[in-house]
Amino acid sequence: MRWEVVLRLILAMIIGGVIGLEREKSNRPAGFRTHTLVCVGSALVFLTSEFVFNAYHEMVNMDPTRLAAQVISGIGFLGAGTIMHYGPNIKGLTSAATLWVVACLGLAIGAGFYWGAIAATIIVYITLILLKKVEVSLFKNTGTTKVAIDLINAPGQIGKVTELMGRLNIQIRDISISPSDESWIHVVFLINLPPATTIKTLLNELSQMEGVLIDWEDEINDT
């Protein structure tokens, strides 16, 4: 029985680590160690429930799944910590979902449901790797583009640029602002271009605006 406990914990560590590695490669807030610890902890909770039930079920009426149920509801606080709000965009939902799934996988392994846990791990990994490519090809015609410009430090300048992007149906994912000098500010936009708009169209429109200097632009991966 002791070796069975060790086996389950090691398997939980491996399965949690597999999913965590994918999140780590994508530079997500919850990565390799976080997913590994969640999965091992969940497995330990179910093993503890099983141990307590076997030890005391003849003395009191016990539900061996009660502790496990608390893991499912309690993991939400950790997942919520990975969700971040960037302007109109939200990031971290996938990491929150993988943390919840990893907790469920840990419970399955702790219960000895090996094949179910392994099959679910394969499905989760396919979802994170392969279906992501399908999602990008179907719903995102371009990657995230980074456009940096210098603006005259005057009221309403950023609003004029965002209004222009709105007319071009460009999705603004993030805006960062830093001072350039006393008269200018440096603004970096992370944007998603619609199919009908090219980066050259945007740059041409920006170059015609007063008080705007185009610094650089680059294409980055959307992960």
Instruction: Tell me the whole-structure pTM to 2 decimals.
Output: 0.54
The predicted-structure confidence for 9-26, as pLDDT tens digits, reads as follows: 899 999 888 888 877 776
CA distance 117 to 14: 11
CA distance 3 to 191: 53
What pLDDT was estimated at residue 84? 60
User: What fold is seen in the domain 144-220?
Assistant: Alpha-Beta Plaits (3.30.70)
Beta bridge partners of 174: 190
Map out the domains of the chain as residue ranges.
2-139, 144-220
Nearest Cα to Cα of residue 148 among 183, 184, 176, 179: 176
